[in-house]
């Protein structure tokens, strides 16, 4: 068991590995940076979150601001689309990060993630500069990394004592002048001036279709699921009984060759998104934008996120993309951003930009003909775009608890309906007729709820295993069960046990899960 002093993230990452939520991809070959695999508990939790989103979007969308039920349909489009898609969407020309290479260490960094501090030292009562900006990657370890490196350099050159620095005054590499950058010691380097000038690096993964590898056969793995929705907007309109306002929702994998994937599954190179494009009349765009921001915040809270850990970050007008009339990021307070927040979902009012671009590039008319109002227009779009893998991370962070007084100090307070295993079923001891009753109960419960039978080791250890998996209920068959046909049901959050009649267990769990 790691000591509680270790950071929440490192404890969470090791719990995820130990209990089969998340594994590093290709681990037996040394791993592959930016790729992760989801184990038995992780895939179930991820599917449950995905299903809750699908239910709230497609199966039972909310009531809209006009008092009418919102209409949203589903879609599952190809990961690889016609390459012109990404020219029209702007991804071929503009989907790039500024990155720098380090000539000394051969490492590559996203320029906007490199933080630089001009450390000073004191010798014989005088304060002097070290002669190089010390840099590190932003994150909760940044201050520790800068201090460690500064002390090492000061000691090596026999300079004196380090003067304490203020991390909030650290400078982002992208905001520095070329002259200043020439004195930066790269995050993993020893010497100043080894970072290259920031260069644009397109984030799309490329591949080739067919046997010949040439520019003509070049395709891209989609960097977002959204464009597949725009390409099918007309198909959906022509084939389903929908008309604006309506939405098209899609969940699926997206790929971005991120320069610096990090923070566990926060920023990865392969990830899942849950995106919905909501098509409406131009004059209603702003109303739907506000509606979806509020609705998405409400939904994340419904999944168990505390209000305090969620934040609406309204993107300043001067920072908006040229086509957006409003964008809000729904942010979550991850342990590595605390006390600040990091993006969980973006809600953007994208106007008619995407459909107009695809109309121009494909030469297909994408106007909607409103026969009742006798007008035609290209619908405006409001897009709530959430990360499924990032949502899974937020759920894990939100539910992680550490409490020395419990059988398992680490446990997950997941919303019961999202928990990968709903019920643990145990015979108190593996004899005296208890296993037979417990097995029968398990056989019945598993038809309705994902259940796990466990008869190994002490009852305390079995509760601990279930707590770590976030299982909300544990049912134990004991000596009294054989006499009065009752069992105990232990509640994960309170660790309290209640006696319930054997034939009422299923209904009891059903009631609790419905909340």
Residues that bind ligand GAP (CB under 6 A): 224, 226, 256, 258, 267-268, 271, 273, 275, 343-346, 383, 385-387, 389-390
DSSP 3-state of 172: strand
Q: What is the nearest approach in angstroms of ligand GAP to the Cβ of residue 310?
A: 13
Report the residue number, 270 or 468, with the smaller CB distance to ligand GAP: 270
CB of 180 or CB of 257, closer to ligand GAP: 257
By beta-carbon distance, which residue lies closest to ligand GAP? 387
Q: How far is the CB of 225 from ligand GAP (least distance, A)?
A: 7
Q: Give the span between the Cα atoms of 251 and 272, in whole angstroms.
A: 7
Q: Which is nearer to ligand GAP, 277 or 468 (CB)?
A: 277
Residue 127, helix vs strand vs coil: strand
Question: Smallest distance from the beta carbon of 80 to ligand GAP, in angstroms?
Answer: 17
Cα–Cα dist 250/75, whole Å: 5
CB 91 to ligand GAP: min, Å: 10
CA 280 – CA 268 distance, rounded (Å): 33
Least distance to ligand GAP, CB of residue 4, Å: 28
Task: Pick the closer one to ligand GAP by CB: 219 or 344.
Answer: 344
Could you give phi then psi for residue 111, rounded to 5 degrees?
-60, -35
The minimum distance between CB 271 and ligand GAP, in angstroms, equals: 4
Helices (H), 119-242: 142-156, 178-181, 226-239
In terms of C-beta density within 10 A (0-12 exposed, 13-18 middle, 19 or more buried), how is residue 96 classed?
middle
| Closest-CA residue to 230 (of 248, 252, 256) | 248
Nearest distance from C-beta of residue 223 to ligand GAP, angstroms: 7
DSSP string, 384-437: EEEEHHHHHHHHHHHHEEE-TTSSSSEEE---GGG-S--EEEEESSS-TTHHHH
Name which of 101 and 354 has its Cβ closer to ligand GAP.
Answer: 354
Q: In the structure encoding, which two tokens stand for residue 454, read together?
A: 């466990």
**Residue with Cβ nearer ligand GAP (150 or 385):** 385
Q: Which is nearer to ligand GAP, 118 or 356 (CB)?
A: 356
**Closest distance of CB 389 from ligand GAP, Å:** 5
Which pairs from 283-287 meet CB under 8 Å and 24+ separation? 284/245, 284/380, 285/325, 285/349, 285/351, 285/380, 285/381, 285/382, 286/325, 286/326, 286/349, 287/65
What number of other Cβ atoms are within 10 A of residue 180's Cβ?
14
Which of 267, 415 has the CB closer to ligand GAP?
267
């Amino acid at each position: 068991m790691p000591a509680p002093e270790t950071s929440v993230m490192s404890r969470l990452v090791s719990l995820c590995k130990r209990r089969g939520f998340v594994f590093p991809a290709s681990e037996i070959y040394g791993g592959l940076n930016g790729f992760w695999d989801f184990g038995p508990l992780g895939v179930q939790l991820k599917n449950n979150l995905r299903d809750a989103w699908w239910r709230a979007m497609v199966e039972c969308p909310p009531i809209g601001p006009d008092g009418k039920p919102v209409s949203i349909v589903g879609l599952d489009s190809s990961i690889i689309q016609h390459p012109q898609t990404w020219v029209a969407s702007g991804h071929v020309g503009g989907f790039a990060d500024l990155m720098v290479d380090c000539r000394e260490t051969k490492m590559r960094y996203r320029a906007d993630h490199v933080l630089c501090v001009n450390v000073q030292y004191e010798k014989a009562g005088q304060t002097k500069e070290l002669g190089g900006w010390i840099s590190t990657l932003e994150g909760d370890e940044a201050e520790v990394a800068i201090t460690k490196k500064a002390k090492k350099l000061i000691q090596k050159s026999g300079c004196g004592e380090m003067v304490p620095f203020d991390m909030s005054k650290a400078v982002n590499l992208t905001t520095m002048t070329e002259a200043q950058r020439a004195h930066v010691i790269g995050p993993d380097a020893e010497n100043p001036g080894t970072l290259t000038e920031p260069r644009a690096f397109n984030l799309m993964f490329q591949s080739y279709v067919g046997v010949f590898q040439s520019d003509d056969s070049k395709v891209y793995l989609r960097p977002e699921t959204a464009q597949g929705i725009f390409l099918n907007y007309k198909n959906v309109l022509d084939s389903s009984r929908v008309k604006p306002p309506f939405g098209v929702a899609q969940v699926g994998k997206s790929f971005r060759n991120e320069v610096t994937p990090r923070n566990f599954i926060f920023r990865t190179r392969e990830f899942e998104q849950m995106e919905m494009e909501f098509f409406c009349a131009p004059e209603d765009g702003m109303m739907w934008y506000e509606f979806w921001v509020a609705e998405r915040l409400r939904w994340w809270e419904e999944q168990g996120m505390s209000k305090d850990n969620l934040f609406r970050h309204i993107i300043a007008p001067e920072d908006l993309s040229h086509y957006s009339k409003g964008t809000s990021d729904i942010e979550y307070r991850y342990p590595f951003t605390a006390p600040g927040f990091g993006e969980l979902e973006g809600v953007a009012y994208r106007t008619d930009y995407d459909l107009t671009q695809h109309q121009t590039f494909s030469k297909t008319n994408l106007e909607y003909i409103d026969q009742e109002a006798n007008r035609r227009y290209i619908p405006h779009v409001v897009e709530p775009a959430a990360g499924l893998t990032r949502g899974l991370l937020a759920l894990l962070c939100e539910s992680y608890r550490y409490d020395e007084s419990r059988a398992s100090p680490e446990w997950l307070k997941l919303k019961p309906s999202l928990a990968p295993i709903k019920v643990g079923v145990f015979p108190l001891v593996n004899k005296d007729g208890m296993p037979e009753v417990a097995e029968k109960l398990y056989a019945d419960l598993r038809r309705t709820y994902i259940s796990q039978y466990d008869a190994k080791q002490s009852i305390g250890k079995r509760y601990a295993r279930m707590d770590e998996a976030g299982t909300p209920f544990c049912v134990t068959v004991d000596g009294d069960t054989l006499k009065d046909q009752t069992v105990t049901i232990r509640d994960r959050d309170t660790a309290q046990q209640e006696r319930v009649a054997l034939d009422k267990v299923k209904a009891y769990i059903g009631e609790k899960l419905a909340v």
